[in-house]
Chain A
Amino acid sequence: MTDIAIEMVSVNKWFSDFHVLKDIDLTVKSGERVVICGPSGSGKSTVVRCINRLETHQKGSIRIYGSEVTERPEDLRGDVGMVFQQFNLFPHLSVLENLTLGPMKSRGLSRSEAEDRARRYLERVKIPEQADKRPGQLSGGQQQRVAIARSLCMEPKVMLFDEPTSALDPEMISEVLDVMVELAEEGMTMIVVTHEMGFARKVADKMVFMDAGEIVETGAPAEFFGNPKSRRCQTFLSQILSH
């Protein structure tokens, strides 16, 4: 059972009267890369936010490596990295301090251990020279790579990406996607909410299409893009691939 990273079983969620997630079943194996797409408001962000307990679900079960997320969510959060659309870097701290804060305060690393680790991950996202700058001095693409490094510094077992390139200028999208592709090739378990279908084709083991709070279709990328079964999925793909 340990090779199952995330297991969602008939998860339901309401925002007061609005039924945002309807009987979501999703299994992600360790090392698997899952891309979730769908029109805005379909609930795809809510799925990843439920997995790391930024949102609470009302029915069903979400297990991460066998343990239910409702129990001790604070333990789980370090194991599940999260990259946000708006980066959410801490603007009052330097890049290096952004990266060392979690390892020092929640993992109990010493400052020098945390800084060694931070510099290693900055190297991996290819901006080691920016360590002493403030986030506000970096471009959007650089900020998002810092945010990815900040998550990696917690050495998570799973990485969640919530539309990581949607707030970026077009010329900066590829530098972020390159980092994510490398991460995928190294075997990181990933769930990525994105509209970047080129990226999805390249790295996804499994595609998930959501609409109106439901998982409408899942499948391997070749099947998913080549021969989508549902009408809604066909329409969506034709809309986002046509330009």
Chain B
Amino acid sequence: MRLLLPLVALALLSGCSSSTTWGWYVINPWTPSGWVNIKFLIGGMGATILISVIAAVLSIVLGLLVALPGLSSRWYVRLINRVYVEFVRAIPLLPMLFWVFYGLPIIFRSMGLDIPIDPFWGAIITLAISDSAFTAEIYRAGIQSIARGQTEAAQTIGLNYLQTMRYVILPQAIRRILPPLANQFIYIVKMSAFASVIGMQELTRRANELVVTEYRPLEIYTLLILEYLVLVLVISAGVRWLERRMGSDERG
């Protein structure tokens, strides 16, 4: 309800056609040009989703690989985890995106490698690395929340480190890890907007381009925000469903 009120207010404002502030014609689905504009804007949805999903999957794998050394009893192994997390967490997303997109190809070239980085993969690599510092911390907290006795019991029946993780610790930790990981996915979706600045044709980029041609920033950015809102609400519903399922599994 609290969410609907501003939307209602917006609709009322739009009714004040005497006002020159609003010009919804630009995205009016009942006019041919408005419909073309809407299709153009929503057309970025696929890229936003694809970038976010691939980045999230990479971040989930990378995060686990970074988290595991953080659980070692040897300080110099834990140091690998700390340095990675602190370093990556400290870099703002936009500078990292510039570095990956404009800087990394130069490093590749100097190594004699011809690996072009297009906006699509530039955005994915940046989002995945940036997010992996956070997923690593989620894994670490989740694994550490499993009682020490579980590891000890696994060792006394002869399981090695990997077997202990695979069969004893991770299956239990995953219930506590999944909801915050899913939450982290929402963060990725929102941060994917930065991909617009390196030319990726996703939601934000398309809105920017349309604003340049139509001079209607208020209406177009309003729709852009609503697009993200819908996307995130759908994910939130998915996360809540997941949490309920996990919870009921635990009781069963």
Choose the segment among A80-88, A185-193, A195-203 that binds chain B (4+ C-beta atoms closer than 8 Å).
A80-88
Asked if B152 CB lies within 8 Å of chain A CBs, one says yes
How far is B169's CA from A90's CA once the two chains are assembled, in angstroms?
9
Asked if A74 CB lies within 8 Å of chain B CBs, one says yes
Chain B hits for A124, CB < 8 A: none
Per a CB cutoff under 8 Å, which of B149, B156, B160, B163 touches A86? B149
Asked if B172 CB lies within 8 Å of chain A CBs, one says yes
- Nearest 4 pairs between A and B by C-beta? A102-B157, A106-B158, A88-B153, A78-B158
Chain B residue at minimum C-beta to C-beta distance from A99: B157
Chain A hits for B171, CB < 8 A: 92
Asked if B168 CB lies within 8 Å of chain A CBs, one says yes
Per a CB cutoff under 8 Å, which of A78, A84, A92 touches B153? A84
Asked if B167 CB lies within 8 Å of chain A CBs, one says yes
Chain A hits for B152, CB < 8 A: 54, 82, 84, 88
Q: Closest Cβ of chain A: how far from B74's Cβ, in Å?
A: 13
A84-B152, A84-B153 given as contacts; is B168 within 8 A of A90 (CB)?
Answer: yes
Chain B 138-156 interface 0/1 with A at a Cβ cutoff of 8 Å (1 = within): 0000000001011011111
Chain A residue at minimum C-beta to C-beta distance from B157: A102
Per a CB cutoff under 8 Å, which of A77, A89, A90 touches B158? A77
Q: Closest Cβ of chain A: how far from B181's Cβ, in Å?
A: 18
How far is B158's CA from A141's CA once the two chains are assembled, in angstroms?
24
Count of chain A residues near B, Cβ 8 A: 25
Chain B 162-186 interface 0/1 with A at a Cβ cutoff of 8 Å (1 = within): 0100011001100000000000000
Chain B residue at minimum C-beta to C-beta distance from A76: B158
How far is B234's CA from A18's CA once the two chains are assembled, in angstroms?
55
B residues in contact (CB < 8 Å) with A: 147, 149-150, 152-160, 163, 167-168, 171-172
Kindly count the residue-residue contacts between A and B in the assembled complex, taking CB atoms under 8 Å apart: 61
Query: Do the beta carbons of A92 and B159 come within 8 Å of each other?
Result: no
How far is B155's CA from A80's CA once the two chains are assembled, in angstroms?
11
Query: Do the beta carbons of B172 and A101 come within 8 Å of each other?
Result: no
How far is B160's CA from A54's CA once the two chains are assembled, in angstroms?
13
Asked if A207 CB lies within 8 Å of chain B CBs, one says no
Chain B residue at minimum C-beta to C-beta distance from A150: B157
How far is B152's CA from A23's CA once the two chains are assembled, in angstroms?
25
How far is B169's CA from A91's CA once the two chains are assembled, in angstroms?
11
Chain B residue at minimum C-beta to C-beta distance from A80: B156
Extra 11 A-B pairs, beta carbons < 8 Å, given A90-B154, A105-B159: A78-B158, A82-B156, A88-B147, A88-B149, A88-B150, A90-B150, A90-B168, A101-B159, A102-B159, A106-B159, A106-B160
Asked if A151 CB lies within 8 Å of chain B CBs, one says yes
Instruction: Tell me which of B156, B160, B167, B168 has the highest count of chain A C-beta atoms within 10 A of its own C-beta.
Output: B156
Per a CB cutoff under 8 Å, which of B158, B160, B168 touches A154? B158
Name A44-78 residues within 8 Å CB distance of B.
52, 54, 74, 77-78
Asked if A19 CB lies within 8 Å of chain B CBs, one says no
Query: Do the beta carbons of B157 and A52 come within 8 Å of each other?
Result: no
A84-B149, A105-B167 given as contacts; is B155 within 8 A of A54 (CB)?
Answer: yes
Chain B hits for A81, CB < 8 A: 156
Q: Closest Cβ of chain B: how far from A182's Cβ, in Å?
A: 21
Chain A hits for B147, CB < 8 A: 86, 88
Instruction: Tell me which of A82, A101, A150 has the highest count of chain B C-beta atoms within 10 A of its own C-beta.
Output: A101
Asked if A120 CB lies within 8 Å of chain B CBs, one says no
Q: Closest Cβ of chain B: how far from A89's Cβ, in Å?
A: 7
Chain B hits for A84, CB < 8 A: 149, 152-153
Asked if A111 CB lies within 8 Å of chain B CBs, one says no
Per a CB cutoff under 8 Å, which of B154, B158, B172 touches A91? B172
Q: Closest Cβ of chain A: how far from B152's Cβ, in Å?
A: 5
Query: Do the beta carbons of B156 and A101 come within 8 Å of each other?
Result: no
Query: Do the beta carbons of A106 and B163 come within 8 Å of each other?
Result: yes
How far is B157's CA from A82's CA once the two chains are assembled, in angstroms?
8
Asked if A107 CB lies within 8 Å of chain B CBs, one says yes
Q: Give 18 pairs: A residue, B residue, CB < 8 Å, sorted on A.
A: A54-B155, A74-B158, A74-B160, A77-B156, A77-B157, A77-B158, A82-B156, A84-B152, A88-B150, A89-B153, A101-B159, A101-B168, A105-B158, A105-B167, A106-B158, A106-B159, A107-B158, A150-B153
